[in-house]
Structure formats: C-alpha cells, structure tokens
Amino acid sequence: MPDLLPHLILLLLAAAFFAGFVDSIAGGGGLIAIPAMLLAGIPPLEALGTNKLQSQFGAASATIAYARRGHVDLKRQLPMAAMAVVGGATGAVLAAMVPAQFLAAAIPFLLIAIALFFALKPNLNDVDSHRRVTPLIFGITFVPLIGLYDGLFGPGAGSFYMLGFVLLAGFGMLKATAHTKLINLGSNFGSFVVFAVAGSVYWKLGLMMGAAQFLGAQVGSRLAMRSGAKLIKPLLVISCLALATKLVADPMHPLRLWLGF
C-alpha cells in the first residue's frame, strides 16, 4: 500500500461508508469508492482489486441485515451465490484477455434502459409478481452471466441483478434488493480471488475501507427495510443514471473515441 496522508485515508473511509450505504439499497457503491481511490493516487488495477476486497464487507453486512429480518433465506440462496462466484472468477480471468471496448460502449445505454424501466413501469412495489423462470433456470443462466460481467467489467452489476430478480424471478423491490446482496457478494468474491492472486490488492487499505463499508451497509439496509420501494426505486434510478453519466464522461470511453469528442 502506498503512503497516504491521514486526511486522504479519512476521505477514503468516508467514501467507503457512503458507498456501503448506497450499495446496500440500490447498488452502485463502486461508483463512489473507485473514483475516490483513483483521486487518492491509487493505480487503476489496484483500485479495482482493492474495491473487490472492501465491497465484500458491505455486501456481507447488508446480506446479514436482510437475512436477520427474514427477507432472504441464506441456505436456499447459497447455490446461486456459488454460481456467481464461478461467474465472477471467470470474468476476472477473461478481463486480461478479452478487449472490453464494445462492452464498455454498451453499458451506459443498458444502465439508462434499466433506469427508465424502474422509473416508468407502474406497480413496482414490495409485492411479488409473476415469476417468468424457475429458480433453477435463473440460477444457472442469469446469475453466472451477470457474475461474469461483474468480474470482467463490473459497473452496474448490482442493477443488472436487481432487474433480473424483478423482471424474471418476480420479486418485489425489497426482496430483490435483499437477494441481490448475497449474489453480488458471490461474484465480488470470485473476481477478488483472481485480483488477490495477481497481487493487485492493497490489503491494509481494503480492510480499513471494508470496516467502513460494513457500517454504511448496516445503516442503508435498515433504512431500506423501513422505507421499501419508496426509497429503493428512486435511489436505483439515480444510481443507474449517475453511473451511466460517469462512464460516458470518461475521455477514454470507447463511444467518445469513436465519435471523436
């Protein structure tokens, strides 16, 4: 870990707390944590690897909070989490071999589409709706696919999980949020293992930020359980739009390079 000034460490801990808070409700914690690490002077690869370490604390914290209140059955969800681990590890391995330009170009538009879906679709609440696929099919297809994306590229994975649980599994907003955290924990762990083996993790910083993430996720998940869809839905829309804007604003984004602006 590089020598960081005390005020930079405090800012990173504050960013991790806020990232855990936001991620436990609507996903998108990486939108806060990764830019904060980059601004602190941490190289991009190490920022990604360290984020995978610290974000696990937030996902685990939110999972525990939701499970304690009965919003997710951990034993029944473990097979899905295992599939997410496999997907995340596979994606992280492929990240070193597969050009991600086309994926990077498409993701902002997919995030905008998800934001519009949750903003405009009527009757999105905490009540379960019609299930379009069985849990088995959902677990062996959609979950590892998004897990692979999480390891390969990452931004917006929580939003994609949320969309799947609502649109395919028929979950209400709060139930979808609760189940997303455990699956996201799985894909984060799978990709984290690959980053750790490659030596791209700042352990001390990641563990400190992880503690802050844990606390932020406790606060966020409890607030989500009190407010339900009334809080989750708008925050999810804002998170998707903010992430899409951040990706397109990057001067090195493939779309900007192709269009020449």
Place 158 in a pLDDT band, splitting at 50, 70 and 90.
confident
**What is the predicted pLDDT for the residue at 104?**
67
**DSSP H stretches of helix in the chain:** 6-26, 30-39, 44-68, 74-95, 101-120, 135-137, 143-152, 157-167, 173-197, 203-227, 229-249, 254-259
How do residues 177-188 score in pLDDT, each as one tens digit? 999 999 999 999
Asked if 123 contacts 173 with a C-beta cutoff of 8 angstroms, the reply is no
Whether 101 shows a pLDDT value over 70: the answer reads no
Higher pLDDT, 44 or 141: 141
Place 78 in a pLDDT band, splitting at 50, 70 and 90.
very high
**What is the predicted pLDDT for the residue at 85?**
95
pTM: 0.83
Place 154 in a pLDDT band, splitting at 50, 70 and 90.
confident
Amino acid at 64: I
Whether 11 shows a pLDDT value over 80: the answer reads yes
Q: Name which of 137, 133, 134, 158 is nearest 83 in CA terms.
A: 137
